[in-house]
Amino acid sequence: MGEPPASDRIATLYSAETISDRVDALARGIAACDLREPLIVAVLKGSFIFAADLIRALHRQGLEPEIDFIFLASYGTGTTGGTVEILRDVESAIEGRDVVIVDDILDSGRTLLFAKERLAARGARSVRACVLLDKKARRLESVTADFTGFECPNRFVVGYGMDIANRYRELPFIGVIETDD
Ligand code: 5GP
Ligand code: MG
C-alpha cells in the first residue's frame, strides 16, 4: 500500500514538502502583481494538482481568483513538426482581465506559446505564465514563464499531476523513473 507498482522504481526529485513551500512562494509572487479580476487558466491535464494547490495558496494571500481550464494536446516532436490542438477551450470572459496561465512543464514551449497567443487574441489585459517546472535545455520556441517553480533537469518526470501513459498522476511528489542501465 502506498508504494508504486513494483515494476518501476521512482526516485524523488522534488518532495511534497519542497513543492508546497515553492507553491506558497509562487503565490506570493503572483499576489504582488496586483492583478485585476485575475483569471487562472490551468492547462489540462498535467497541471490540475499544481493549479489546485496554487489557487489555495493564492487564497491564503487574500486573492479571489476565478479558475478555468484549457485542454491542449500537442502532437509531433522535433524542430519541424509539432502542432497544438484545443480539446476544450476557456469558457470564462477574458476581455480586459489579467490572466495567469498555469502549466506543469515548460518544455519545447509550444504549448505555452499557443496558450499565451490565444488568450491575448481573446482580449486579455495581460497574460502571464506560471509553470511548475522549466526544462530550459529543451526550448524550441522563444517563450518564458513569469513565475517558475523549479528549473528542472532534462529528465522525464512523473507525479503531482504528471503522467506517463496515464500512470503516476496521484503521486504527492515529483519523481523520475529509474532504469536499471
Ligand atoms: P511543450 O509544448 O512545452 O513541449 O510541452 C509541454 C508539455 O509536455 C507539458 O505541459 C507536459 O504536459 C508535457 N511534458 C513535457 N515534459 C514532460 C515530462 O517530463 N513529464 C511529463 N509527464 N510530461 C511532460
Ligand atoms: Mg501539459
C-alpha distances out from residue 175 to 12, 110, 125, 164, Å: 4, 23, 36, 11
Q: What is the pLDDT of residue 77?
A: 65
DSSP 155: S
Residue with cell 504527492: 172
105 ligand 1 Cβ < 6 A: yes
Structurally, at CATH architecture level, domain 17-75+82-150 sits in 3-Layer(aba) Sandwich (3.40)
**Centre of ligand 1 from the C-alpha of residue 62, in Å:** 31
75 ligand 1 Cβ < 6 A: no
Q: What is the pLDDT of residue 75?
A: 84
Please give the model's pTM, rounded to 2 decimal places: 0.94
pLDDT tens digits for 93-112? 999 999 999 999 999 999 99
109 ligand 1 Cβ < 6 A: yes
Beta strands in 20-114, from DSSP E residues, in sequence order: 39-44, 66-75, 83-88, 98-106
Class of residue 88 by CB neighbours under 10 A (exposed 0-12, middle 13-18, buried 19+): exposed
Asked if pLDDT for residue 78 goes beyond 70, the answer is: no
Q: Which amino acids are annotated catalytic? A: 107
Taking the C-alpha atoms of residue 164 and residue 65, their distance in angstroms, rounded to an integer, is: 30
DSSP 36: S
To test the pocket of ligand 1, the residue of 48, 160, 162 to mutate (highest count of ligand atoms within 8 Å of its CB) is: 162
**Centre of ligand 2 from the C-alpha of residue 44, in Å:** 6
Domain ranges of the chain: 17-75+82-150
Three cell numbers, residue 141: 520556441
